[in-house]
Chains A and B, each alone.
Chain A
């Protein structure tokens, strides 16, 4: 993966720090850093190193003070007009960059003035104070970015607001090195960039496993009783209410919640149902292990039930003893210490940097429902007699079609994130997908699946590339939450019918093994393709569909 740093001050210090952090987390990256203040030439010149390296990710950092210094110290009468023109010029350049680098994720810092101005009494009392200018610039930037496909804003301004200019900036560096960041500032900035980088790669935790007593409420429910626990909408009990509200917000963004607690289940369920300030109800939890078993054993059962890797779990418990039990048994699970003082609990969740998204799709919002129905489905599977009965009992309905712009974000996301059922593991951005859709030699398909437990949304996608009389399956991807229900066969059948109707003679495919995609190793073989060495093919004229009468297909 190639990462390119570009900006109007010395980028090397930031990029060096970024490399160190990324290597420490085992990311395989090559980093290029543009020469000092070269960003204009690099963006305008089509033969610049920037374009020659065709990076996967670009970080563009333009300091507002340096960009507008001459204007803000001038006596121009129409200061805000001149200022807006300067910002507008810069945004034009940004647009050029976005258009020239279609397959690249571009990150741009939002604007802030790094020098102290807020103490000045004139701020907010004159029409064109620094802070107003900062707001104007950020509003213009946000509006411009909203209309593009590859640009995302890095919220550096909030980092500065939170950690403070005195900690993050160093005047000596500004004069000696043409970089305003202090050592602490460089570390925080590189850390923030890494969060965006990981969000782009789709690396995040998927489920928070929670303790109850002194975690979701204050006190011991079994001893203190439902009326006496700390949980309310004012006073100190509000800290726990706010903590739950932050967890509910994660839930609403598709993060799963589960419980692992030593308690009596009936008392807990009664509390959840009856306590007026208990925001989290039994329905919010994908799995509840409330018993007197060892927490490591409970944890194993939770991971098994929801079918997620241990490294996608977070465990929150106020007891250091229980945290150590989990850390020892499952070092892959992220088990941070909760703050000693519960008033810090809500901020603790707000500051957790393991749930980062770049954008939320409808599927992210619906994920909780989908996982919950999966757990129910698996229970049903255990109780039905044979597999075909099971398929029929699900009442599956698949919608399969060629992609329209509405599905593009989800399809790009699937190419980026899906590892297990991904035959060639080709990663694409939204603009790549759009390009395929517009190209007459490519087709992009999607499949969405609903059953009696709920709508799973888009769970399958495929991209084919037509060359003469043959079509090649460039990508065939299925979300693991929809596997084991034969829907992948429905998608393949649809593709076969579609390429046949175009008069093509052959359909070819390939399996490129990775560490994670064993589950789809035999996909082509199981569907009657012939081949070896990972390359597979069929003659469309003789091919017999694999029948899956239990799925109703719509297009």
Chain B
């Protein structure tokens, strides 16, 4: 089992780096609409950074499913537990 709190922290850090934001500005409830640089290219940078950070490989369905910080954390946890 992975430490959920620690994972949340790391996800927020990846969001901040991917979208040029301060960590304190990233909220769990943020969706694609709330983050300015989260467009289609930004999405791919985010996915690549997540895969690098957590050493996981997401499927096309998982990649397409990520549309908020909250469900991103959920999908990462699921992927980590599955390994």
Interface residues of A (CB under 8 A from B): 10, 12-13, 16, 172-173, 175-177, 179, 183, 186
B21 CB to closest chain A CB (Å) equals 16
Q: Which chain B residue lies CB-closest to A175? A: B60
Contact of A13 among B41, B51, B59, B63 (CB under 8 A): B41
Which residues of chain A are within 8 angstroms of B60 by Cβ–Cβ distance? 172, 175-176
Interface assignment of B52: CB less than 8 Å from any CB of chain A: yes
Cα–Cα distance between A173 and B41 once the two chains are bound (Å)? 11
CB contacts between A and B, total, < 8 Å: 24
Cα–Cα distance between A12 and B59 once the two chains are bound (Å)? 22
Contact of A16 among B41, B51, B64 (CB under 8 A): B41
Interface assignment of B10: CB less than 8 Å from any CB of chain A: no
| CB pairs A–B below 8 angstroms (24 shown) | A10-B41, A12-B41, A13-B41, A13-B44, A13-B45, A16-B41, A16-B45, A172-B59, A172-B60, A172-B63, A173-B44, A175-B60, A176-B44, A176-B60, A176-B63, A176-B64, A177-B40, A177-B41, A177-B44, A179-B44, A183-B48, A183-B51, A183-B52, A186-B48
A164 CB to closest chain B CB (Å) equals 17
Which residues of chain A are within 8 angstroms of B63 by Cβ–Cβ distance? 172, 176
Interface residues of B (CB under 8 A from A): 40-41, 44-45, 48, 51-52, 59-60, 63-64
Cα–Cα distance between A260 and B63 once the two chains are bound (Å)? 55
Cα–Cα distance between A509 and B40 once the two chains are bound (Å)? 52
B6 CB to closest chain A CB (Å) equals 23
B57 CB to closest chain A CB (Å) equals 9
| Known contacts A10-B41, A16-B41, A172-B63; 17 further A-B pairs (Cβ under 8 A) | A12-B41, A13-B41, A13-B44, A13-B45, A172-B59, A172-B60, A173-B44, A175-B60, A176-B60, A176-B63, A176-B64, A177-B40, A177-B41, A177-B44, A183-B51, A183-B52, A186-B48
- Give the interface SS of chain A, mostly helix, strand, loop or mixed: helix
Which residues of chain A are within 8 angstroms of B51 by Cβ–Cβ distance? 183
- Give the interface SS of chain B, mostly helix, strand, loop or mixed: helix
Which residues of chain A are within 8 angstroms of B48 by Cβ–Cβ distance? 183, 186
Which residues of chain A are within 8 angstroms of B41 by Cβ–Cβ distance? 10, 12-13, 16, 177
Q: Which chain B residue lies CB-closest to A13? A: B44
Q: Which chain A residue lies CB-closest to B58? A: A172
B32 CB to closest chain A CB (Å) equals 15
Which residues of chain B are within 8 angstroms of A183 by Cβ–Cβ distance? 48, 51-52
Cα–Cα distance between A65 and B64 once the two chains are bound (Å)? 25
Q: Which of B40, B41, B52 has the most CB of A within 10 A?
A: B41
Which residues of chain A are within 8 angstroms of B59 by Cβ–Cβ distance? 172
A497 CB to closest chain B CB (Å) equals 59
Q: Which of A175, A176, A186 has the most CB of B within 10 A?
A: A176
Q: Which chain B residue lies CB-closest to A33? A: B41
Which residues of chain B are within 8 angstroms of A12 by Cβ–Cβ distance? 41
Cα–Cα distance between A10 and B41 once the two chains are bound (Å)? 9
Which residues of chain B are within 8 angstroms of A186 by Cβ–Cβ distance? 48
Q: Which chain B residue lies CB-closest to A186? A: B48
Cα–Cα distance between A16 and B63 once the two chains are bound (Å)? 20
Cα–Cα distance between A547 and B63 once the two chains are bound (Å)? 76
Q: Which of B52, B59, B60 has the most CB of A within 10 A?
A: B60
B44 CB to closest chain A CB (Å) equals 5
Cα–Cα distance between A283 and B38 once the two chains are bound (Å)? 60
Which residues of chain B are within 8 angstroms of A16 by Cβ–Cβ distance? 41, 45
Cα–Cα distance between A484 and B24 once the two chains are bound (Å)? 60
For the complex of A and B, the 5 pairs showing the least CB-CB separation, nearest first, are: A183-B48, A12-B41, A177-B44, A172-B60, A176-B60
B11 CB to closest chain A CB (Å) equals 18
Cα–Cα distance between A57 and B64 once the two chains are bound (Å)? 35
A168 CB to closest chain B CB (Å) equals 14
Cα–Cα distance between A170 and B36 once the two chains are bound (Å)? 27
Cα–Cα distance between A498 and B39 once the two chains are bound (Å)? 61
Cα–Cα distance between A13 and B44 once the two chains are bound (Å)? 8
Q: Which chain B residue lies CB-closest to A173? A: B44
Which residues of chain A are within 8 angstroms of B45 by Cβ–Cβ distance? 13, 16
A191 CB to closest chain B CB (Å) equals 16
Cα–Cα distance between A172 and B44 once the two chains are bound (Å)? 10
Cα–Cα distance between A13 and B64 once the two chains are bound (Å)? 18
Q: Which chain B residue lies CB-closest to A15? A: B41
Which residues of chain B are within 8 angstroms of A13 by Cβ–Cβ distance? 41, 44-45
Cα–Cα distance between A179 and B45 once the two chains are bound (Å)? 13
Cα–Cα distance between A172 and B52 once the two chains are bound (Å)? 15
Cα–Cα distance between A16 and B40 once the two chains are bound (Å)? 13
Cα–Cα distance between A176 and B47 once the two chains are bound (Å)? 11
Q: Which chain A residue lies CB-closest to B57? A: A172
Q: Which chain A residue lies CB-closest to B39? A: A12
B82 CB to closest chain A CB (Å) equals 17
Which residues of chain B are within 8 angstroms of A175 by Cβ–Cβ distance? 60
A545 CB to closest chain B CB (Å) equals 61
B24 CB to closest chain A CB (Å) equals 24
Cα–Cα distance between A75 and B27 once the two chains are bound (Å)? 55
A555 CB to closest chain B CB (Å) equals 58
Cα–Cα distance between A13 and B60 once the two chains are bound (Å)? 18
Q: Which chain A residue lies CB-closest to B48? A: A183
B25 CB to closest chain A CB (Å) equals 21
Q: Which chain A residue lies CB-closest to B62? A: A172
Cα–Cα distance between A13 and B48 once the two chains are bound (Å)? 11
Which residues of chain B are within 8 angstroms of A172 by Cβ–Cβ distance? 59-60, 63
Cα–Cα distance between A172 and B45 once the two chains are bound (Å)? 13
Q: Which chain B residue lies CB-closest to A171? A: B60
Cα–Cα distance between A13 and B63 once the two chains are bound (Å)? 16
A236 CB to closest chain B CB (Å) equals 38
Cα–Cα distance between A183 and B41 once the two chains are bound (Å)? 13
Cα–Cα distance between A193 and B20 once the two chains are bound (Å)? 24
